[in-house]
Structure 1
Amino acid sequence: MNITFLGAAKTVTGSCYLIETGDKKFLVDCGMFQGRANEVLLNAEPFPFNPGELDFMLLTHAHIDHSGRIPKLFMDGFKGTIYATKPTVQLCGIMLPDSGHIQEMENEWLNRKRQRAGKSPVEPLYTVKEATDCLSLFKGVPYGEAIGIADGIRVRFNDAGHILGSAIIEIWIRENGKDTKIVFSGDLGNKGIPLLRDPAVIAEADYLVVESTYGNRLHTLKKDKDRLERLINIITETIAKGGNVIIPSFAVGRTQEIIYDLNKYMDVFGDAVNRILNIPVYVDSPLATSATQIFRENLDCFDEEAKQYIANGDNPLDFPALKFTQSPEESKKLNENTESTIIISASGMCEAGRIKHHLKHNLWRKESTILFVGYQAEGTLGRRLLDGASMVKLFGEEISVNARIEAIDGFSGHADKAGLLSWIGSIGKKPKQVFIVHGELEVMNEFAQSITDEFGLKCIIPARGDSYVISTENVYESIPNADVRKRFRRLAVVEMLDTLREEFEELAEILKGDLKQERSDVEIDEVAAKLKLVEKSILEAIK
């Protein structure tokens, strides 16, 4: 078989892998690129294959960086079956239309801007209707059952413990009378994550495609109690100052886990939790509201602890002060409150949705706290805030960052380095080769070395467009895809230009603030001379 890495290759988003056998073609995941400007541009690029020729697709889980381009795939001609677990099918039923809504809203804003500039309008990546129409292709499959997908191809979905319905996918492909087994980890969860079961153990693999999001880090707060104690301290300190706690959270996964943890430890922390639970806790995301209901409908996917709570008559996803907002009007009123509130709102990386409005109203307030509980990809607003940005632009307005910025990585749905290595170590018959994906390049390099040191396994870190021939004899051959490489090379230049634009804007702000002549005229003349050289180079490049 041949596997081509089309996303989450030397980056965290856009998971997409094309597998070709003798007479079948299929995808594992078809996610949206997020964060960096050059990667976001990839979302609208034509697929480097004919979607109409695909036989089927396998989906590891519902998060948009794994599922978000399925509507585009459908629009471009794919009409095969999409196999996923039942909860993933249900979650995609709300998440993809929601993504379509975001595409439409952002496209409307873009077209108004283009109209003012005298430019013609452009179409959104896809609409709510197109996202809804593609749902007819989904088919739910159970965990733990090997099923025949096509002649010579069997698959099995195993619990990945990342979000509700997330899966590790085992694929057996029979060629020339021999089976080759490739395992896709999907996104692996932490052991002991609230609500969900631990990642399943895999007996054997010929080849492994494994995520590496936290491949060089250890989560600082491993115990639920320690993690929640820090959460409680941050909240109580913020409330004491009269501020709000704004939690940018993925609507599916982290939101439900935070609700569960607050409820779970009411008795353990006593008055501290009771005080918090008397403060209005708003889940300001219609998507999170719907997702929470889907969690409640899939109790069979919960871990034993959560099931015991339910058996005792306790709803682990509810408490009296918890409120869910629906309409935009309700959301806007939250920022009119004079009393302190806790607002959990999507998106988790602050790139879209209602969270941006709450940031606009709270980032400048010294008494408020922005609390991150999930991974922030490079290039996202969330990552810039975590990296210490002093000023950010929201809705065309410059906002000073005066609020307290905190992060609790113990809430992450991704296993850390120790968790990833432990999971690989649990595989009975180790793979001949490991492909490392879904991580930043520096992290991937360190993680690859850790795997080699720990298990003696060979690792490959594929770039986007890299293609490999895989067989039972452990023979692979890299086949560069010239067309895909050409696109990525050009988009890399776009990213350089975006970086330059940001640096020019930063320099302009510095010079505006220097009107009191804190720097000498000689220094300013030196800057002007250097900029003149840059201008000359750019003009030559344009020619």
Structure 2
Amino acid sequence: MRISFHGADRGVTGSCHLVECAGTRLLIDCGLYQGGHSLEEENAEPFGFDPADIDLLLLTHAHLDHCGRIPLLVRRGFEGEIITTPASRELARLVMLDAAGLQEEEAARNNRRASRHGRKRRKEEVPLFTVLDALNSLDAFGRSAQYGERLSLAPGIHATFLDAGHILGSASILLELEEEGERRRVLFSGDIGNGGRPLLDDPEVATDLDVIVMETTYGDRDHKAMQPTVDELYEVINETFRRGGNVIIPTFAMERAQELLYFLRAGVESGRLSQSTQVFLDSPMAISATEIFRRHQEAYGDATAALFQSGEDPFQLPGLHFTRETAASMSLNRIGGGAVIMAGSGMCTGGRIRHHLKHHLWRRDSSIIFVGFAAQGTLARRIIDGASTIRLFGEEIPVQASVHTINGFSAHADQRELLDWYRRTGGASITYLVHGDEDAMAHFATLLEGTEVRMPALHAGHDL
């Protein structure tokens, strides 16, 4: 039995872990690296294993940094089965097709720009993977995993998906391994959710473990409590409207967009926000994700499930507008004030949000609200860290809008909740820390007791 690490190792993105047992090779996740240009290049590098040798892929959830290299994996030879929850299956399809489309568009745009400026290239830029690659990868999705169901994967290997409470369909995965009389129980945390949320249940755990592979995104800090977080959101919106500006929210399409709609609806219903508040969800992907969220009521916590059962839609409010078409998105630039505009991507690495930032970063009456994690090297991180100007579409844009970071909306557990999750498992002999900045990971390691803590390097392998 052996485990090796091929992504999100001493870094936050690109989750990919390989387990070998009794002649079977299986992956936990195959995600995209996100951030600076060097990480983009790393996506194209060899995986650290031969995709053709992989028998199974277990997907914890549908965020791009966990599923985004699946089309590339298939293109390079993977012919095995992908297993995930029903909601993650639908959301991953959406995410991978969207990523492929964006990569095709970016490659075409860069090639046009190079041609226009007479630059000589050794070869034409090509996308990491295409829409056709993404479509082909959908054929690999096989069985669906229900929470708590023990699946037989191969002789000596069983898997149980547990609700991780992170986004719709997200899971931690317990592997029960047996080879030559040796047995190991290995728990992969996936991304652990921020407990006490209105939409999803709190994260579940397994116990009696030998090995834990655990995320540490917020291993060095705690989030603001939920109620003060929601209060701050309402205050920023109301103050911005009083100044005559717009509120721009870079928004992750899955979970964050839906949770914000939930709280905006609650704010209007309670009178904390004006009945005339106009909200624009300017993201075809987030709009489609919201429709998927409505279809999977089995994955919600009791309070949200009860809303659906009573005939209410927790994602609907009077002034909500869905803007799928590009022309509709462009028309939002003519709105002088009084609008909340939510657009992707959450880290501002692409998508429509960059156009809205171009039109609002220089406006002193507008506000930019960041409500999620921003990896090093991303545009969002540069703005949060206080950049005075930002280059967008060939222009230097001064940052004069009011910038707010409201991290209580994070879908990730904070340090306190990570420790609580770990303690509820009862711990393990060996704990691997992954999916976190190295400083956060190292800090969190000092808080764990009674276990051998390892922080694996990229492509490092260890016997189980």
TM-score normalised to the size of structure 2?
0.97
Relative contact order (alpha carbons < 8 A, sep ≥ 6): 1 or 2 greater? 2
Any unmatched runs of 5+ in structure 1?
471-543
Residue aligning to 2:119: 117
Higher helix share: 1
Count of residue pairs the alignment pairs up: 460
Residue aligning to 1:310: 308
C-alpha separation in 2, matches of 1:155 and 1:111: 45
Residue aligning to 1:407: 405
Q: Is the 8 A contact 1:347 1:353 kept in 2?
A: yes
- Deviation of 1:113 after TM superposition, in Å, equals 3.3
After superposition, give the CA deviation of every residue in 1:349-376 in whole Å (9 maximum; x if it has no partner).
0001111110111111111111001101
Q: After the TM superposition, which of the residue ranges 29-38 and 415-424 deviates more from structure 2? A: 29-38
TM alignment of 1:264-279, pairs within 5 A = 264-267=266-269, 269-270=270-271, 272-273=272-273, 275=274, 277-279=275-277
Is the counterpart of residue 210 in structure 1 residue 210 in structure 2? no
C-alpha separation in 2, matches of 1:93 and 1:241: 41
C-alpha separation in 1, matches of 2:360 and 2:146: 44
Is the counterpart of residue 469 in structure 1 residue 456 in structure 2? no
After superposition, give the CA deviation of every residue in 1:79-129 in whole Å (9 maximum; x if it has no partner).
111110000000012111001001101111221233331213122111112
Residue aligning to 2:329: 331
Counterpart residue type for residue 257 of structure 2: T
- Deviation of 1:189 after TM superposition, in Å, equals 0.5
Which residue of the other structure, out of 375, 378, 396, is the alignment partner of 1:377? 375
C-alpha separation in 2, matches of 1:307 and 1:239: 33
Q: Is the 8 A contact 2:58 2:84 kept in 1?
A: yes
Is the counterpart of residue 23 in structure 1 residue 26 in structure 2? no
Residue aligning to 1:231: 233
Is the counterpart of residue 445 in structure 1 residue 439 in structure 2? no
Which residue of the other structure, out of 129, 133, 138, is the alignment partner of 1:135? 138
TM alignment of 1:348-387, pairs within 5 A = 348-387=346-385
After superposition, give the CA deviation of every residue in 1:416-444 in whole Å (9 maximum; x if it has no partner).
0000000111114x210100000001100
Q: Is the 8 A contact 1:282 1:324 kept in 2?
A: yes
C-alpha separation in 2, matches of 1:11 and 1:146: 31
Residue aligning to 2:453: 459
Which residue of the other structure, out of 136, 150, 156, is the alignment partner of 2:154? 150
Is the counterpart of residue 245 in structure 1 residue 243 in structure 2? no
- Deviation of 1:19 after TM superposition, in Å, equals 1.5
Residue aligning to 2:203: 199
Counterpart residue type for residue 6 of structure 2: L
C-alpha separation in 2, matches of 1:244 and 1:441: 36
Which residue of the other structure, out of 320, 338, 341, is the alignment partner of 2:339? 341
C-alpha separation in 2, matches of 1:291 and 1:174: 38
Residue aligning to 1:432: 429
Q: Is the 8 A contact 1:194 1:261 kept in 2?
A: no
Aligned residues: CA RMSD: 1.2
C-alpha separation in 2, matches of 1:5 and 1:178: 22
Q: Is the 8 A contact 1:74 1:134 kept in 2?
A: yes
SS in 2 for 1:259: helix
C-alpha separation in 2, matches of 1:170 and 1:449: 25
Counterpart residue type for residue 124 of structure 1: P
SS in 2 for 1:365: coil
Counterpart residue type for residue 216 of structure 2: S
Q: After the TM superposition, which of the residue ranges 82-91 and 131-140 deviates more from structure 2? A: 131-140
C-alpha separation in 1, matches of 2:180 and 2:348: 49
C-alpha separation in 1, matches of 2:69 and 2:344: 19
Residue aligning to 2:282: 284
- Deviation of 1:203 after TM superposition, in Å, equals 2.2
- Deviation of 1:191 after TM superposition, in Å, equals 0.8
- Deviation of 1:53 after TM superposition, in Å, equals 1.1
- Deviation of 1:74 after TM superposition, in Å, equals 0.6
C-alpha separation in 2, matches of 1:126 and 1:410: 34
C-alpha separation in 2, matches of 1:341 and 1:29: 38
- Deviation of 1:466 after TM superposition, in Å, equals 1.2
Q: Is the 8 A contact 1:228 1:262 kept in 2?
A: no
SS in 1 for 2:183: strand
Instruction: Name which one, 1 or 2, has greater alpha-carbon Rg.
Output: 1
Q: Is the 8 A contact 2:52 2:79 kept in 1?
A: yes
C-alpha separation in 2, matches of 1:244 and 1:148: 52
Residue aligning to 1:84: 84
After superposition, give the CA deviation of every residue in 1:46-80 in whole Å (9 maximum; x if it has no partner).
22211111101011100000000000001101111
Residue aligning to 2:172: 168
- Deviation of 1:266 after TM superposition, in Å, equals 4.0
Residue aligning to 1:535: none
Q: Is the 8 A contact 2:246 2:336 kept in 1?
A: no
TM-score normalised to the size of structure 1?
0.83
TM alignment of 1:512-523, pairs within 5 A = none
C-alpha separation in 2, matches of 1:126 and 1:182: 32
- Deviation of 1:265 after TM superposition, in Å, equals 4.4
Identity fraction in percent: 43
